[in-house]
Amino acid sequence: MQKLVMKFGGTSVGNAERIRRAARIIKEHGTRETAVVVSAMGGVTDSLVEIANKVAQGAPEEEIKKFVGDVREKHIATIKGAVSKPHQEIALIEIERLCTELEKVLTGVSYVGELTPRSLDYIMSFGERLSAPILSEALNSMGAKSKWYTGFEAGIVTDSSFGRASPIWSETNKKVLKVLKPRMKDSIPVVTGFIAGDAHGRITTLSRGGSDYTAAILGAVLNVDEIWIWTDVDGILTTDPMLVAEARTIDVLSYIEAMELAYFGAKVLHPKTIEPAMERGIPVRVRNTFNVENQGTLIVRKQRETGDIVKAISVLKNAVLLTISGAGMIGVPGVAARVFSALAAQKVNILMISQGSSEVNISIVIEKSDLEKAIKTIKEEFAGKNVVKDVQYNKNVAVIAVVGAGMQGTKGVAARVFTAVANAGVNVLMIAQGSSEVNISFVVLEKDAKSAAKALHDEFIVRK
């Protein structure tokens, strides 16, 4: 029998009607062994992050009560619309239990007045812990047999990098096979995406958007036939549809192409999703909950020869361009290496690197959330030595990546890319060094990102 992992994103479980729709989709494929991964209802994780920050800065108790009240109401209304009796009662009890716990946690943070990455993960975990019982009981209401699990209960064990945890594969393999696999035979497990636990059982998260990654982790361990990511667009599109209205669905992509797109900002897939799937050669399908007829995008190892040079253009916002400079860097070997290893030790994710031939400066692109940590790390690394003089940054940049396996060995692509961008009046701030052969990536001011993406989409996709 075919085995599947299906993941439903926040919009796809955004209200009662959508949860029923998701449950129907799951049930329709019930002839196969299926494990389901679910995100928090749309907007819930954002609201948890927001209240956590407010509470740490001293928001009054009434605000906590009001917030938890709203969360409770939203989920209860969803249960009433998506789950029938007697299953309603089970889901309602769970929601009540979780809301009481959430109020306690938020109150705790307000007393301490500090939000650690560990407490933030704990607070963010409520989004998925609230949605999973609802989807699971909606399935039970439809006559399917289902149980819900947290990612940790399902067997995903991570390191303790709160906010950006990675699975410990040996443990995860053992536990998922022991816990989840046997249960798939006669029921449909619904697992919370995004959250897991470390070796001490403390709740961790896989970084924002990480439910896709949960699906891929489970899919790889269970060695399923396919991993399906159900979302709110028809698949992976030629560019972000929010930026360029003409974006269209791509039928087939290779793992590498999809990985590059996800890494450089195509939000439809969490950047780490492809890795476990690729390792095991499991096809990933991205499909639209609101348009089930559409086959979506299939991601496999070997891309079909389409003759397309460029398949898609991605845009990554919330990036920062850091420039590290100092005349003392000239001729001093290993400055770049020291910068990178110091940043890596602090788990700062480096998206791009470039060093001018003059050696007077090194430019790197990182995520905005890592800015403070990165500057502190670099300053400490070179403290007291006359090597690095200055660390400057520009917080308002975006990375544009042009992706397509057809670029390999095709002459003149870079010239076409930068001519199109220049003709759109956009200034390029930095070009990556040593990028993979299937992408050309560069940095522009965030305000120019849309014009650049549109110009490239016109050049390579619309006109070809």
Among 133, 151, 193, 197, binds ligand ASP (CB under 6 A): 193
Among 127, 133, 189, 209, binds ligand ADP (CB under 6 A): 209
- 3-state secondary structure at position 180: helix
Token couple for 294 = 């559409």
As a whole number of angstroms, the distance between CA 405 and CA 382 comes to: 40
Among 194, 228, 255, 460, binds ligand ASP (CB under 6 A): 194
Among 242, 330, 345, 422, binds ligand ADP (CB under 6 A): 242
Please say whether the beta carbons of 401 and 441 come within 8 A: yes
Residue 127 binds ligand ASP, judged by CB under 6 A: yes
As a whole number of angstroms, the distance between CA 236 and CA 408 comes to: 21
Residue 209 binds Mg ion, judged by CB under 5 A: yes
Positions in 274-313 near ligand ADP (CB under 6 A):
312
Report the partner that residue 241 touches, choosing among ligand ASP, Mg ion, ligand ADP, none (CB closer than 5 to 8 A by kind): ligand ADP
Among 78, 110, 141, 211, binds ligand ASP (CB under 6 A): 211
CA 72 to chain CA mean position, Å: 26
As a whole number of angstroms, the distance between CA 372 and CA 347 comes to: 13
Query: Which one of 64-72, 239-247, 277-285, 372-380 is the stretch in contact with ligand ADP (CB under 6 A)?
Result: 239-247
Q: Provide the minimum distance between the beta carbon of 269 and ligand ASP in the complex, in angstroms, as a whole number.
A: 10
Among 138, 142, 266, 438, binds ligand ADP (CB under 6 A): 266
Please say whether the beta carbons of 8 and 148 come within 8 A: no
Closer of 236 and 274 to ligand ADP (Cβ): 236
Among 6, 10, 218, 442, binds ligand ASP (CB under 6 A): 10
Cα angle, residue 297 at apex, residues 304 and 305 outer, rounded to 5°: 10
Query: Which one of 208-216, 274-282, 344-352, 378-386 is the stretch in contact with ligand ASP (CB under 6 A)?
Result: 208-216
- Residue 386 to residues 41, 211, 330, 368, Cα–Cα distance (Å): 52, 45, 11, 27
3-state secondary structure 199-237: CCCCEEECCCCCHHHHHHHHHHHHCCCEEEEEECCCCCE
Binding site for ligand ASP (CB under 6 A): 9-10, 39-40, 45, 127, 193-194, 208-211
